Chain A
Amino acid sequence: GESVGLHLPTLSVQEGDNSIINCAYSNSASDYFIWYKQESGKGPQFIIDIRSNMDKRQGQRVTVLLNKTVKHLSLQIAATQPGDSAVYFCAELRAEDDKIIFGKGTRLHILP
């Protein structure tokens, strides 16, 4: 099966609050991870990536945290807005064949 997975299929967050989307991976040799956002009817859109030599990386309103000890990845979205409503995928560069493997996704619902 896939080594990349997500803890929750659906996450509901109040507008203005911070969102945290989690992802677990099983291959400790993986050294590159990516978060994608997919809005309805569109293709996945690159949000942010992180390499295994980092624990944290920040973008505009988004932060990715990598915990290699427990093989856990998270995406934090600050001050969640209605436009953040989408499905979020984590992806892992599989070490054995250099192919990117995608998790099944978490749907983020924004509550008014």
Chain B
Amino acid sequence: DAGITQSPRHKVTETGTPVTLRCHQTENHRYMYWYRQDPGHGLRLIHYSYGVKDTDKGEVSDGYSVSRSKTEDFLLTLESATSSQTSVYFCAIGQENYGYTFGSGTRLTVV
């Protein structure tokens, strides 16, 4: 996971509260992604970014927003957390036709 740091590693939060997860990279890569991983669903793309202030939705973007104000940071925000957003969240960097490098993940529990 060299070059990508996710924080926090674990978080428990209450339903209805806002939560922000951070992905920090030192690779100066343009492309960054947020995935969630759930049993039976594998890895699903939430949002992605192709550069500063350039973001777009993935397949499961409802309830999530992102921001990329600097190349190195990609933030994922749950505006009002719900129990269905309990998951493991992974950040990745890389270009689609060269594979991705993933961070170590953030385990989020919404109670």
Q: Which residues of A contact B (CB under 8 A)?
A: 2, 32, 34, 36, 41-46, 49, 89, 93, 98-100, 102-105
Contacts and interface: CB of A to CB of B under 8 A. Distances in A.
B42 A2 contact: yes
Contacts of A45: 102
Interface of B: 1, 40-45, 58, 90, 92, 96-105
B105 A43 contact: yes
14 contacts: A34-B99, A36-B102, A42-B105, A43-B92, A43-B103, A43-B105, A44-B90, A44-B102, A46-B99, A49-B99, A89-B43, A93-B96, A99-B45, A104-B40
A102 B43 contact: yes
B77 to A, nearest CB: 20
Nearest to B6: A43
A49 B101 CA distance: 13
Given A43-B103, A43-B105, A44-B102, A105 B96 contact: no
Given A98-B96, A99-B96, A100-B96, A46 B101 contact: yes
A45 B103 CA distance: 9
Contacts of B96: 32, 93, 98-100
